[in-house]
Amino acid sequence: MAIRDNGRGINTIMIGAILIIALIQLFVLVRISGEIGTNTAKNTSPVSLPVSKVSVNTSNVSYFSQNATFGQRLTNISEELSPSQLSTINSAPNSYFERAGEMLLNGEISNPIFLESANKSNQVSRLMIGGKPTVVYIGAISCVYCGESRWAMALALSRFGSFSKLYKGYSSFGDYDIPTIYWIADNYTTQSGVGYGNSYTSSYINFISADYESPIVQGFDVKPLSFFIKSAPNATYLAALSFMNNTSKFDGTPFTLWGNTILVGADAAVFGNSTPTGSTLQLTEETHSQVINQLQSESDQFSLSEYAAADVYGAYLCASLNTSNVSFCSLPAIEALQSKMNLT
């Protein structure tokens, strides 16, 4: 099975077959109760969702410049978002999500936002860790579709908790080097590794994240899930990654779980204020500040598209939470999206 930079058939890329070492499978099954229909990762100690610490030395790396081949403003790599920028993600008004959801339902969003109906092929039992359902993200720092999707993912996650840190980053130079956010300060120079963890907290859900690391001067690159599993930092991550592997759905990145819905690709293709044509992506010409400034607008088409994509992620999650404590889940547009996607 070819592993793709999964964007609904765009940018099909290489990488080999998925192999799981039998010893790891046996070790994982001790920690996961039952089969995929009843998976629950058991931890007697507090749930550990670590943030990997990496050192990024760019002092002698000439390609971190404003004159790179694709993008024009490759600066501030691995810099934390400022408090005000972080607040744009954490404290976006519910009214933005409601308006974007209504426009999506009415066909008024020009960027493609995909509404996957619930069906046997993408529905699994919730992964419960520490008594809470879990969102799992598996991606790659070089992946352009991961890059554009993280904006919407962060907005969706902000409805159920908050980030204390997010970092500035880019997809690879050979995959459009669009400005994105990263869950941790990822290492852009390592030849092959995984950055695990994030700075997200929530009373309702867990968020487990893993990004394959490779030099961004190269094109898109990712390893099979066995690579992620073998380097899992603890039993929590081992259980979550093995859960994802046991779905047999991994076909590229981003590969995510939202409650009990598995998504095998990007839920949006938001690269600007209109559907991109050819090799022109508006985001390649923008700084992180410009992107975040757009997200502060309720009328910008790019902003509305990102909030609409976040609505889709959030609707999947709301359907599996069974809680009335999250105001986002009670928005009329979110309830309508759940109905449209067969989630209720």
| Beta pairing, strands 261-263 & 193-196 | unpaired
The mean-pLDDT minimum among 67-81, 98-112, 261-275, 307-321 falls in 67-81
The string of pLDDT tens digits covering residues 287-307 is 889 999 999 998 899 999 999
The string of pLDDT tens digits covering residues 147-161 is 999 999 999 999 999
d(CA 32, CA 28): 6
Q: How confident is the model at residue 176 (pLDDT cuts 50, 70, 90)?
A: confident
Please tell me the pTM assigned to this model: 0.83
- CA-to-CA dists, residue 258 to 216, 308, 328, angstroms: 28, 16, 15
Work out the mean pLDDT of the chain and round it to a whole number.
80
| 92-98-99-102 Cα dihedral, nearest 10 degrees | 150
Q: Which two tokens stand for residue 249?
A: 């759905």
Domain ranges of the chain: 4-340
